[in-house]
Protein backbone atom coordinates (compact mmCIF):
# COMPACT_ATOMS: atom_id res chain seq x y z
CA UNK A 1 0.00 0.00 0.00
CA UNK A 2 1.49 3.35 -1.00
CA UNK A 3 1.82 6.21 1.52
CA UNK A 4 -1.08 8.11 -0.02
CA UNK A 5 -3.34 5.11 -0.02
CA UNK A 6 -2.35 4.29 3.57
CA UNK A 7 -3.21 7.84 4.69
CA UNK A 8 -6.54 7.58 2.86
CA UNK A 9 -7.26 4.22 4.48
CA UNK A 10 -6.47 5.54 7.98
CA UNK A 11 -8.47 8.72 7.48
CA UNK A 12 -11.43 6.89 6.10
CA UNK A 13 -11.31 4.01 8.52
CA UNK A 14 -13.97 3.77 11.20
CA UNK A 15 -13.11 5.63 14.44
CA UNK A 16 -12.45 2.42 16.35
CA UNK A 17 -9.78 1.38 13.80
CA UNK A 18 -8.19 4.83 13.67
CA UNK A 19 -7.55 4.72 17.41
CA UNK A 20 -5.28 1.75 16.75
CA UNK A 21 -2.92 3.79 14.67
CA UNK A 22 -1.12 5.55 17.54
CA UNK A 23 -0.29 4.15 19.98
CA UNK A 24 -1.34 0.53 19.69
CA UNK A 25 -1.27 -1.42 22.92
CA UNK A 26 -0.80 -5.17 22.84
CA UNK A 27 -3.09 -6.81 25.36
CA UNK A 28 -1.14 -7.99 28.41
CA UNK A 29 2.07 -6.19 27.44
CA UNK A 30 3.16 -3.41 29.77
CA UNK A 31 4.15 -0.25 28.01
CA UNK A 32 7.24 1.58 29.22
CA UNK A 33 6.33 4.41 31.51
CA UNK A 34 7.61 7.89 30.81
CA UNK A 35 11.04 8.38 32.36
CA UNK A 36 10.96 10.22 35.64
CA UNK A 37 13.17 10.37 38.69
CA UNK A 38 12.31 7.63 41.13
CA UNK A 39 14.16 5.25 43.46
CA UNK A 40 15.21 1.81 42.18
CA UNK A 41 12.49 -0.83 42.34
CA UNK A 42 14.10 -2.57 45.31
CA UNK A 43 13.57 0.58 47.38
CA UNK A 44 10.08 1.32 46.11
CA UNK A 45 7.42 0.84 48.78
CA UNK A 46 9.91 -0.45 51.35
CA UNK A 47 11.11 1.05 54.60
CA UNK A 48 14.91 1.37 54.93
CA UNK A 49 15.00 -1.78 57.04
CA UNK A 50 12.86 -3.70 54.54
CA UNK A 51 15.18 -2.51 51.79
CA UNK A 52 18.20 -3.87 53.69
CA UNK A 53 16.43 -7.24 54.02
CA UNK A 54 15.51 -7.23 50.32
CA UNK A 55 19.11 -6.47 49.35
CA UNK A 56 20.39 -9.31 51.49
CA UNK A 57 17.86 -11.75 50.01
CA UNK A 58 18.92 -10.63 46.52
CA UNK A 59 22.64 -11.07 47.29
CA UNK A 60 22.16 -14.44 48.93
CA UNK A 61 19.92 -15.74 46.16
CA UNK A 62 22.47 -14.64 43.58
CA UNK A 63 25.38 -16.36 45.34
CA UNK A 64 23.40 -19.54 46.03
CA UNK A 65 22.32 -19.70 42.39
CA UNK A 66 25.93 -19.30 41.25
CA UNK A 67 27.03 -21.91 43.78
CA UNK A 68 24.46 -24.31 42.31
CA UNK A 69 26.06 -23.81 38.91
CA UNK A 70 23.51 -21.44 37.36
CA UNK A 71 24.57 -17.99 36.16
CA UNK A 72 22.18 -15.41 37.69
CA UNK A 73 22.45 -13.34 34.50
CA UNK A 74 22.18 -15.84 31.61
CA UNK A 75 21.62 -19.24 33.32
CA UNK A 76 24.88 -20.52 31.82
CA UNK A 77 27.14 -22.91 33.76
CA UNK A 78 29.21 -21.35 36.56
CA UNK A 79 32.74 -22.29 37.53
CA UNK A 80 33.77 -21.87 41.19
CA UNK A 81 37.22 -20.47 41.94
CA UNK A 82 39.15 -17.83 43.81
CA UNK A 83 40.86 -14.59 42.95
CA UNK A 84 42.83 -11.78 44.42
CA UNK A 85 40.67 -8.87 45.52
CA UNK A 86 39.26 -7.00 42.57
CA UNK A 87 37.18 -4.62 44.66
CA UNK A 88 37.97 -2.93 47.92
CA UNK A 89 34.55 -3.72 49.40
CA UNK A 90 35.99 -6.89 50.95
CA UNK A 91 38.96 -6.71 53.28
CA UNK A 92 40.19 -10.17 52.34
CA UNK A 93 43.33 -11.40 50.58
CA UNK A 94 41.42 -14.11 48.68
CA UNK A 95 37.93 -13.83 47.29
CA UNK A 96 35.54 -16.61 46.41
CA UNK A 97 34.27 -16.18 42.86
CA UNK A 98 31.97 -17.89 40.39
CA UNK A 99 32.60 -17.33 36.69
CA UNK A 100 30.06 -17.89 33.95
CA UNK A 101 31.37 -19.92 31.02
CA UNK A 102 28.76 -18.42 28.71
CA UNK A 103 28.55 -14.67 29.37
CA UNK A 104 31.79 -14.08 31.33
CA UNK A 105 29.97 -12.50 34.28
CA UNK A 106 31.53 -13.02 37.68
CA UNK A 107 29.75 -13.31 41.02
CA UNK A 108 32.11 -12.23 43.80
CA UNK A 109 31.65 -13.45 47.34
CA UNK A 110 33.87 -14.40 50.25
CA UNK A 111 34.67 -17.64 52.02
CA UNK A 112 33.29 -16.08 55.20
CA UNK A 113 29.96 -15.31 53.54
CA UNK A 114 29.71 -18.84 52.13
CA UNK A 115 30.46 -20.15 55.62
CA UNK A 116 27.95 -17.82 57.26
CA UNK A 117 25.20 -19.07 54.94
CA UNK A 118 26.06 -22.74 55.46
CA UNK A 119 23.24 -24.60 57.21
CA UNK A 120 25.45 -26.16 59.91
CA UNK A 121 27.02 -22.78 60.73
CA UNK A 122 23.59 -21.18 60.97
CA UNK A 123 22.53 -23.94 63.38
CA UNK A 124 25.70 -23.34 65.43
CA UNK A 125 25.03 -19.60 65.58
CA UNK A 126 21.39 -20.14 66.54
CA UNK A 127 22.66 -22.08 69.50
CA UNK A 128 25.66 -19.98 70.51
CA UNK A 129 25.51 -16.47 69.07
CA UNK A 130 22.31 -15.36 67.39
CA UNK A 131 23.55 -11.78 67.13
CA UNK A 132 25.53 -12.71 64.01
CA UNK A 133 22.33 -13.91 62.34
CA UNK A 134 20.36 -10.83 63.30
CA UNK A 135 22.58 -8.39 61.43
CA UNK A 136 23.13 -8.12 57.68
CA UNK A 137 25.97 -10.28 56.40
CA UNK A 138 28.08 -7.21 55.59
CA UNK A 139 28.14 -6.43 59.32
CA UNK A 140 29.70 -9.82 60.12
CA UNK A 141 33.50 -9.74 60.32
CA UNK A 142 33.90 -13.26 58.95
CA UNK A 143 32.05 -12.24 55.78
CA UNK A 144 33.91 -9.02 55.05
CA UNK A 145 37.42 -9.51 56.44
CA UNK A 146 39.94 -12.32 56.83
CA UNK A 147 40.41 -11.70 60.55
CA UNK A 148 38.88 -15.11 61.26
CA UNK A 149 40.37 -16.86 58.23
CA UNK A 150 43.41 -19.06 57.80
CA UNK A 151 45.03 -20.21 54.59
CA UNK A 152 45.72 -23.76 55.76
CA UNK A 153 47.38 -24.96 52.55
CA UNK A 154 47.97 -23.79 49.00
CA UNK A 155 48.16 -27.23 47.39
CA UNK A 156 45.76 -28.81 47.74
CA UNK A 157 44.01 -25.59 48.57
CA UNK A 158 42.35 -25.40 51.95
CA UNK A 159 40.92 -22.27 53.52
CA UNK A 160 39.48 -22.08 57.02
CA UNK A 161 36.88 -19.77 58.55
CA UNK A 162 36.26 -19.80 62.30
CA UNK A 163 33.30 -18.62 64.34
CA UNK A 164 34.27 -18.43 68.00
CA UNK A 165 31.95 -17.55 70.85
CA UNK A 166 32.59 -17.41 74.59
CA UNK A 167 31.96 -21.12 75.01
CA UNK A 168 32.22 -22.75 71.59
CA UNK A 169 33.81 -22.66 68.16
CA UNK A 170 32.70 -23.67 64.69
CA UNK A 171 35.45 -24.16 62.12
CA UNK A 172 34.75 -24.59 58.41
CA UNK A 173 37.29 -25.73 55.79
CA UNK A 174 36.81 -25.03 52.07
CA UNK A 175 38.54 -26.61 49.10
CA UNK A 176 39.44 -25.04 45.74
CA UNK A 177 35.90 -25.67 44.44
CA UNK A 178 34.47 -23.62 47.31
CA UNK A 179 33.00 -26.76 48.82
CA UNK A 180 32.96 -27.35 52.56
CA UNK A 181 35.28 -30.34 53.10
CA UNK A 182 35.37 -30.28 56.87
CA UNK A 183 33.26 -28.69 59.57
CA UNK A 184 33.80 -29.09 63.28
CA UNK A 185 32.08 -27.72 66.35
CA UNK A 186 33.79 -27.60 69.70
CA UNK A 187 32.07 -26.67 72.94
CA UNK A 188 33.92 -25.83 76.12
Q: How far apart are CA 134 and CA 163, in angstroms?
A: 15
Comparison of 73 and 144: residue with beta carbon closer to Zn ion: 73
Sheet holding 106-109, edge to edge: 78-83, 95-100, 106-109
Indicate which single residue of 71, 114, 121, 132 sits in contact with Zn ion (rule: CB under 5 A).
71
Comparison of 93 and 103: residue with beta carbon closer to Zn ion: 103
Count of residues that interact with Zn ion, criterion CB under 5 A: 8
Q: How far apart are CA 33 and CA 41, in angstroms?
A: 14
Name which of 161, 92, 153 is nearest 124 in CA terms.
161
Backbone angles phi, psi at 27, to 5 degrees: -60, 135
Binders of Zn ion among residues 88 to 117 (CB under 5 A) are 100, 102-103, 105
CA-to-CA dists, residue 1 to 5, 7, 18, angstroms: 6, 10, 17
Comparison of 76 and 81: residue with beta carbon closer to Zn ion: 76
Comparison of 75 and 89: residue with beta carbon closer to Zn ion: 75
- Bridge-based pairing state of the strands 106-109 and 95-100: antiparallel
CB of 92 vs Zn ion, minimal distance in Å: 24
Stretch that binds Zn ion, among 73-81, 89-97, 124-132, 136-144 (CB under 5 A): 73-81
Indicate which single residue of 8, 42, 74, 181 sits in contact with Zn ion (rule: CB under 5 A).
74
CB of 70 vs Zn ion, minimal distance in Å: 9
CB atoms within 10 A of CB 174: 25
Indicate which single residue of 73, 94, 183, 185 sits in contact with Zn ion (rule: CB under 5 A).
73
Tell me which residues touch Zn ion (CB under 5 A): 71, 73-74, 76, 100, 102-103, 105
Amino acid sequence: MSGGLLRLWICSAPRRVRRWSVPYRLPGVRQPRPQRRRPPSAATGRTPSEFVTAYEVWARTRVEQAKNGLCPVCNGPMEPGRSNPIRDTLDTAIQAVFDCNACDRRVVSSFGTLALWHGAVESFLHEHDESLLERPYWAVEQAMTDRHATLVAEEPFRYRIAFRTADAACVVDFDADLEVVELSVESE
